[in-house]
Structure 1
């Protein structure tokens, strides 16, 4: 149950059986019979996913994320918090990160902030050495053993984590000052109604939605995803794929996951490093995979209004790499979580499991198929206009009549509905500052076309670099960041230092 293996023996057997079945259909029904079967299955998947997204969207539209009274800073019931901050080649954004952490309103004697640095990342390590860190912030050097991924770093950090709650922030994250208090209030309230809730997902927003065309579409996607889709998935009792940042966990639940999935040892001899398998160290979207791991243990996730500002990709080249990693990770997660379907159905429930697998696999697969469908449609129209009856008839014969009309409706009405949904979502859920960006969403279809490029790239990397983390650069417009995120007075208090060995610079040694 790890991305360390691409396909299990069972999956290889299913793949072989599918190939045999396709050969039988080809032999019995001919080329057209095989093509019609494939097109029928494909259109059924398109229609099902479109209907599913609209159902979830309407479910989310009927329920806002509630704001709850914040606990007092001197409330003795406030949990201790471990904040994990994985860093790799992030020297440029480190000062803003430390500033954001010191602005968090929470008793610092109850905070343990771990900066996770990768061995060999000399620039970031040196920047940390030169930075005056608050006493509750500790830098931990992650050993250079095994895959150099964010989940492996977080797994390593769990060996020294002491908080009752655990949250992950990325290097470019700027959590609002009351972020932790809002998460605690949400966790307490959700667990009163359902003790199975052990994670609350905060809201991610962008502080730079106007820095480029890609950032506009990222902004629109995040509004729809966090204010509507995730809310709808939680409301329907389904499994929301967690995001890589601002997930607040009860640490005991993470340790339960580690007990279920065991440990991993990287290296050998004196250099061997053993870490708990809370997250899949080989998965580049470990957050989505963890959502399934928690669901297998009958845990639930809820939403909370704690907001974190992030930096959106401002260039297509940056968006290409980041979207490649997301789609690659979704493919891997879908493959991993489909390895033991009967056991997963028993633990998650059939509907929850099947919907999760559909989200993980069909999201990237549809991006792979979209150009093919668009090309077929354009060729068919061109053949009709230009009088190429052979070409038009060939495409016609690929689709049984009912499938042809259903596919046409799905392509036209479905895309129009999803396009309108994205515009309405952003107009409803966004602030006045960003409302003017909705006018760019009339070009959403161009963005959908672009996302097919990282889908093909993700499929290639799935075969060639499955567990290699493509870094997203940050820190391109820090002046804009400061104009959006208002400063507040920091609250820094001394706390007991960690007992792990340090060098003269204050960094925790690895291994």
Structure 2
């Protein structure tokens, strides 16, 4: 007996006699599958969320999935299909595109003569799905299966194609993937610039240092000016306090949370526990833990952690580049939500964070496509480096980013606690799979396409990277991505000007170029320590006393702005005890200079290399430290 004949015989034996004209609740109650109390509670929840009862039962893990599928099959009078008993026919799978199957939770399982047996995980929605099928698909009959079976089959049959699509989802004009074509020319330009710089330094050191000093001072003044403007903007219009009562929409949406993981042996169990604190209804929560296909380490760690049904894993087929944005693009195909959120492996979000995101989106204009939460650390007291990192994050997320929003400038997103309207995300082409700061790049592209980003007062705690070399590696990836993002969006300046307008155009140039130039040219400013130490300086012969006083005044003013920035940022955070450490930042930021030179080397040699940050090396400062408190 061939496979199809065997399947038909199995279906004849197992198919119900006909549909039961009764609600699912009655079938479950008659079968004794659920207690009356549990069924009443689930029915009330389904009514409150305006969702099918089966979705509530599955999400809350009230019943074994096999029993739930059998009850649904009885209600509709159709068979249940399972891959182990009835493997899908590969020829039938070609009847519908993979994306259609994922969007509607259906799978063309096999044909019975001319009739297509279409398995669905949403039987109550089947009549509407029929209206969306291609007109030439022929007669269709329904069967029932689980969404996990559908996703597994699509992954096996279309995974490679979907992975290739994830690599080029972003249009080439908005991607950095063509950067590799510039390697030779960029290398030649860099070599020429290096030769000219060394030659100028040898033959005319005063001219070299004078030009470098002018650039360094210019970038310092511009960067500190932007800080000051952002600070004033937030003082005039501070970030609003979280509302005491959330105004949720009448029918809250499904929210998908994408969590890319790679070599996360130590963090997996803690991650599941932290995500389980979220108070958003489980029925509407779709958490996808994204693994790389060959990552046995993370797979083994997750196998030891009990995953609730609203958390699922997804493996990304091997391919290049192996980056976080490529994994996100792939997972987007399998997401159920109309709001997409991003978390990192070590994140501990506020329990009501998703509720606040949904409420904010419901009340915001449609052009608000993205919400950025506040990032903080749960181990700031681990050592000096973590203290400085916490001060820097407070400055960035509690002052600078809100200030950029208040000033009407484009917002470079943080890599986590970012929430997006799915339609807007897909409209701009998802993430650039080749950009190692896909977050900053996405923020720029959203602004160019007319969307806005809001910073909302909800906090996610994460692990501060507090070891020197891993910190430099992480920061070099960020700075490399900043350089590449600036290049992508500025390679056609007229188009950028047209998309953003003059105010935001200059904001982009200021933010990216000033940041990069400050780290690159920092050694020029450090050279003035020679004067304080009584040592000769290359500009001794051309600097007057007046110019020295101007320099000293500039340095002191910049330091005063940085001190005020850090102190005010900490005053808005739970880390006020770190204020005495703010003056030590002048010893912290030089690490960024080591990182920028590593980054510039990688831009030329391996621009798409993702320098992985390892997590799980620094535990929370104490019990409950990973619970956000403002």
TM-score (norm 2): 0.66
The answer as to whether partners of 2:210 and 2:539 remain within 8 angstroms in 1 is no
The 1:32–1:93 alpha-carbon spacing in structure 2 relative to 1, beyond 3 Å, is closer
- Is structure 2 residue 490 aligned with structure 1 residue 338? yes
Structure 1 unaligned segments of length 5 or more: list them: 259-277, 488-511
| Aligned-pair CA distance for 1:190 | 3.2
| Aligned-pair CA distance for 1:343 | 0.5
The 1:121–1:32 alpha-carbon spacing in structure 2 relative to 1, beyond 3 Å, is same
The answer as to whether partners of 1:70 and 1:181 remain within 8 angstroms in 2 is no
Which residue does 1:253 correspond to in 2?
424
Distance (whole Å) between structure 2 residues aligned to residue 333 and residue 14 of structure 1? 21
- Where 2:589 maps in the other structure, the secondary structure is helix
Which residue does 2:105 correspond to in 1?
none
- Is structure 2 residue 294 aligned with structure 1 residue 120? yes
Specify which structure has the bigger relative contact order, considering alpha-carbon pairs within 8 angstroms and separated by 6 or more residues: 1
Superposed CA deviations along residues 260-306 of structure 1, whole A, max 9, x for unmatched, are: xxxxxxxxxxxxxxxxxx11111111100001111110111011112
Which residue does 2:470 correspond to in 1?
318
- Where 1:128 maps in the other structure, the secondary structure is helix
Choose from 556, 566, 581 the match for 1:422. Answer: 566
Choose from 205, 213, 222 the match for 2:376. Answer: 205
Which residue does 1:163 correspond to in 2?
337
The 1:255–1:448 alpha-carbon spacing in structure 2 relative to 1, beyond 3 Å, is same
Superposed CA deviations along residues 338-386 of structure 1, whole A, max 9, x for unmatched, are: 1111111101112212222322232132112112221x3123444xx46
The 1:404–1:188 alpha-carbon spacing in structure 2 relative to 1, beyond 3 Å, is farther
Choose from 610, 613, 617 the match for 1:469. Answer: 610
Superposed CA deviations along residues 431-488 of structure 1, whole A, max 9, x for unmatched, are: 2xx322221222111112222221222222222232111121212344646432459x
Distance (whole Å) between structure 1 residues aligned to residue 211 and residue 577 of structure 2? 45
1:6-405 matches, cutoff 5 A? 6=179, 36-66=210-240, 67-71=242-246, 76-191=250-365, 195-258=366-429, 278-374=430-526, 376-382=527-533, 385=534, 391-392=536-537, 394-396=538-540
The answer as to whether partners of 1:86 and 1:169 remain within 8 angstroms in 2 is yes
Superposed CA deviations along residues 164-211 of structure 1, whole A, max 9, x for unmatched, are: 1000010100111101011122223332xxx32111111111111111
Distance (whole Å) between structure 1 residues aligned to residue 292 and residue 514 of structure 2? 34
| Aligned-pair CA distance for 1:216 | 0.3
The 1:425–1:307 alpha-carbon spacing in structure 2 relative to 1, beyond 3 Å, is closer
The answer as to whether partners of 1:239 and 1:291 remain within 8 angstroms in 2 is yes
Which residue does 2:178 correspond to in 1?
5
The answer as to whether partners of 1:190 and 1:302 remain within 8 angstroms in 2 is no
Distance (whole Å) between structure 2 residues aligned to residue 459 and residue 137 of structure 1? 39
Superposed CA deviations along residues 41-86 of structure 1, whole A, max 9, x for unmatched, are: 442232122212111122123333222354477x532121111000
- Is structure 2 residue 582 aligned with structure 1 residue 409? no
Distance (whole Å) between structure 2 residues aligned to residue 359 and residue 7 of structure 1? 25
Distance (whole Å) between structure 2 residues aligned to residue 282 and residue 56 of structure 1? 31
The 1:84–1:139 alpha-carbon spacing in structure 2 relative to 1, beyond 3 Å, is same
- Where 2:539 maps in the other structure, the secondary structure is helix
Distance (whole Å) between structure 1 residues aligned to residue 606 and residue 544 of structure 2? 39
The 1:131–1:378 alpha-carbon spacing in structure 2 relative to 1, beyond 3 Å, is closer
| Aligned-pair CA distance for 1:151 | 0.6
The 1:380–1:249 alpha-carbon spacing in structure 2 relative to 1, beyond 3 Å, is same
- Where 1:301 maps in the other structure, the secondary structure is strand
Which residue does 1:435 correspond to in 2?
576
Query: Once superposed, what is the RMSD of the aligned Cα atoms?
Result: 3.0
| Aligned-pair CA distance for 1:125 | 1.0
Distance (whole Å) between structure 2 residues aligned to residue 355 and residue 404 of structure 1? 30
- Where 1:6 maps in the other structure, the secondary structure is helix
| Aligned-pair CA distance for 1:224 | 1.2
The answer as to whether partners of 1:180 and 1:306 remain within 8 angstroms in 2 is no
The answer as to whether partners of 1:119 and 1:141 remain within 8 angstroms in 2 is yes
Structure 2 unaligned segments of length 5 or more: list them: 1-173
The answer as to whether partners of 2:290 and 2:331 remain within 8 angstroms in 1 is yes
Task: Tell which deviates more after alignment, 164-173 or 49-58.
Answer: 49-58
Distance (whole Å) between structure 2 residues aligned to residue 178 and residue 101 of structure 1? 11
The 1:399–1:238 alpha-carbon spacing in structure 2 relative to 1, beyond 3 Å, is farther
The answer as to whether partners of 1:334 and 1:360 remain within 8 angstroms in 2 is yes
Distance (whole Å) between structure 2 residues aligned to residue 305 and residue 378 of structure 1? 41
The 1:405–1:347 alpha-carbon spacing in structure 2 relative to 1, beyond 3 Å, is farther
